[in-house]
């Protein structure tokens, strides 16, 4: 199927009547509200300047070696089309190609496989204000622009059973999705603009999909950047510690149900206004019936469920177990792979362990970045000041730099050999970046504490333990309040904070003060001995 541009107009609601009516309402509103807006600006601008002058300097999460990288958005074309896989399923893709004359020769391509719409089509006139009038992605567009600016082509695909792709989701990261990615890579390498080298990139679900594609050992894959990857869904997010995490599962199930019906604009978070702004997923052909038929096939998609007694071996919807979603089944394939990996995660996300698990398999060809971020790296939370702020770190530049080192034509065997495994991690509190070659870092020491019922103390000497019991009235327990890292997996733009910590009526054990400074690295581990 031939690629097509300007896919906004495929939706049938783009009538001349809509455009005239919307333009009239907007113009009338602007005329009526202009005096109020002008008065608001007169007050707001001085207020912002005064607030900035009085504000305390806040720490930065920017890499120590990284200068500000403000560039002009690159020139590129964006087309959409279907690719037919080996089993006959039609997969929707967006193809981004740089138009700079310097990039006229064949180039490497970066592939991402998304569960949450490869791009979104806006209604008129809002489309004129975003992404140079093209469909866009909330979190991905700035990454695509960074990759395009570096001269790479970008292909974004809706995995089967989602977005504008045909097919059905049998369960997350099904082996058929992996085969689809191989078929798309084969298609990429056959294109006249391709030099045969492919990099894999993605966040969250997409990151795990990229990791699984690496396990296929496709010869075109030269580098992979999984950001905020889930290695084991059961332990990482579904039931951490064996306790069902209802918030994420229910929210994720709700989100995917709306997306699979192409009804993103009806999400409760849109408060009934979504249809004024969003049309839905970007079509992959000019035939409206293609999108209608594709969405109809999503009706039988796998749906997440919550079972109170869920464990790793419990069979759920689709006759799969949580253990089936673990990446441990490709462990041997990943150990045999030679693809360089950059794992990217944050302390306020639940994917740190996943990234370190990936690193531990083949540390000599893996790098890890652990920042003070939530899921997707949108926010930087400072536990000392308890201030949350937008991340100042240039994540895009870090990702593109990794691809430059491993994906470009001029990467020689000698330069590739200089790649060494490392872990860059941000230390909260003193707000500095550090580097280690193993985990835990070589200089780290283990401290063991034991619960003692004498004044609910944490003691370091087993002989000081006082036996006993503690009674806890759960009727008076309160929520910690705010937004935790578990909730921030979905609500990535909500402020990270715990404002009810001291009033939560939890059982607390406290140690004596340390006589020296201590830096806690990685997680605290609680182990019960019977």
Q: Which residues of 498-525 are buried (b: 16+ CB within 10 A; e: fewer)?
A: beeeeeeeeeeeeeeeeeeeeeebeeee
Find out whether 82 and 91 touch, Cβ atoms under 8 Å.
yes
* Measured distance CA(209)–CA(203) in Å, rounded: 9
* Domains delineated in the chain: 76-435 (3.40.50.1820)
* Measured distance CA(274)–CA(11) in Å, rounded: 15
pTM assigned to the model: 0.90
For 240-296, write each residue's pLDDT tens digit: 878 888 888 899 999 999 999 999 999 998 888 888 889 999 999 999 999 999 999
For 287-321, write each residue's pLDDT tens digit: 999 999 999 999 999 988 877 677 777 777 777 88
3-class state of residue 95 by DSSP: strand
Residues in the chain: 530
248: left (phi over 0), alpha (psi -120 to 50) or beta: alpha
Tell me what pLDDT residue 477 has: 67
Q: What parts of the chain have a pLDDT lower than 70? A: 1-2, 41-58, 64-71, 101-103, 308, 410-418, 476-477, 501-502, 522-523, 529-530
Contacts 24+ apart (CB under 8 A), 176-179: 176/87, 176/89, 177/113, 177/209, 177/212, 178/209, 178/212, 178/213, 178/215, 178/216, 179/85, 179/86, 179/87
Tell me what pLDDT residue 252 has: 92
196: left (phi over 0), alpha (psi -120 to 50) or beta: left
Both structure tokens of 487:
């909730």
Tell me what pLDDT residue 181 has: 98
H-helix segments, 337-458? 352-361, 395-407, 413-417
Tell me what pLDDT residue 59 has: 75
Tell me what pLDDT residue 290 has: 97
């Amino acid at each position: 199927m031939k690629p097509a541009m300007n896919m906004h107009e495929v939706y049938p609601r783009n009538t001349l009547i809509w455009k005239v009516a919307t333009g009239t309402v907007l113009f009338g509103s602007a005329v009526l509200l202009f005096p109020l807006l002008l008065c608001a600006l007169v007050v707001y601008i001085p207020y912002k300047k005064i607030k900035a002058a009085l504000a305390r300097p806040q720490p930065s999460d920017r890499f120590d070696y990284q200068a500000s990288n403000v560039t002009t958005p690159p020139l590129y074309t964006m087309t959409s089309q279907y690719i037919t896989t080996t089993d006959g399923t039609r997969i929707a893709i967006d193809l981004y190609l740089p138009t700079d004359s310097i990039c006229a020769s064949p180039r490497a391509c970066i592939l991402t496989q998304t569960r949450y719409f490869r791009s979104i089509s806006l209604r008129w006139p809002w489309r004129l204000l975003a992404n140079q009038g093209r469909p866009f992605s909330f979190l991905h567009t700035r990454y695509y622009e960074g990759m395009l600016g570096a001269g790479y082509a970008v292909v974004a695909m809706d995995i089967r059973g989602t977005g504008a792709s045909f097919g059905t989701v049998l369960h997350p990261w099904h082996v058929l999705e992996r085969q689809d990615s191989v078929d798309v890579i084969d298609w990429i390498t056959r294109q006249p603009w391709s030099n045969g080298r492919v990099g894999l990139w993605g966040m969250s679900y997409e990151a795990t999909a990229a990791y699984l594609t690496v396990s296929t050992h496709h010869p075109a894959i030269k580098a992979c950047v999984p950001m905020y990857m889930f290695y084991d869904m059961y332990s990482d997010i579904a039931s951490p510690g064996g306790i069902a995490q209802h918030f994420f599962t229910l929210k994720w199930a709700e989100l995917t149900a709306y997306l699979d019906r192409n009804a993103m604009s009806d999400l409760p978070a849109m408060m009934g206004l979504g249809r004024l702004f969003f049309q839905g997923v970007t079509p992959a052909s000019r035939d409206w019936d293609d999108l209608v038929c594709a969405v109809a096939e999503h009706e039988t998609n796998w749906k997440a469920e919550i079972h109170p007694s869920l464990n790793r071996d419990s069979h759920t919807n689709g006759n799969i177990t949580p253990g089936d979603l673990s990446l441990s089944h490709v462990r041997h394939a990943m150990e045999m792979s030679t693809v360089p990996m950059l794992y990217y995660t944050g302390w306020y996300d639940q994917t740190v362990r996943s990234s370190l698990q990936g690193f531990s398999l083949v540390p000599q060809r893996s790098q890890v970045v652990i920042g003070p971020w939530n899921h997707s790296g949108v926010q930087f939370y400072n536990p000392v000041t308890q201030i949350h702020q937008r991340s100042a770190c240039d994540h895009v530049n870090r990702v593109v730099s990794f691809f430059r080192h491993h994906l470009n034509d001029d990467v020689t065997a000698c330069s590739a050999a200089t790649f060494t495994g490392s872990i860059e991690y941000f230390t909260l509190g003193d707000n500095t970046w550090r580097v280690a070659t193993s985990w835990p870092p070589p200089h780290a020491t283990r401290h063991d504490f034991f619960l003692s019922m004498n004044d609910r103390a944490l003691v370091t000497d087993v002989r000081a333990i006082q036996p006993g019991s503690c009674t806890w009235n759960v009727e008076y327990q309160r929520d910690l309040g705010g937004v935790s890292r578990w909730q921030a997996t979905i609500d990535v733009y909500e402020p990270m904070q715990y404002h009810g910590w001291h009033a939560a009526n939890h059982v607390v054990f406290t140690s004596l003060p340390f006589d020296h400074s201590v830096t806690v690295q990685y997680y605290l581990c609680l182990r019960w001995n019977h």
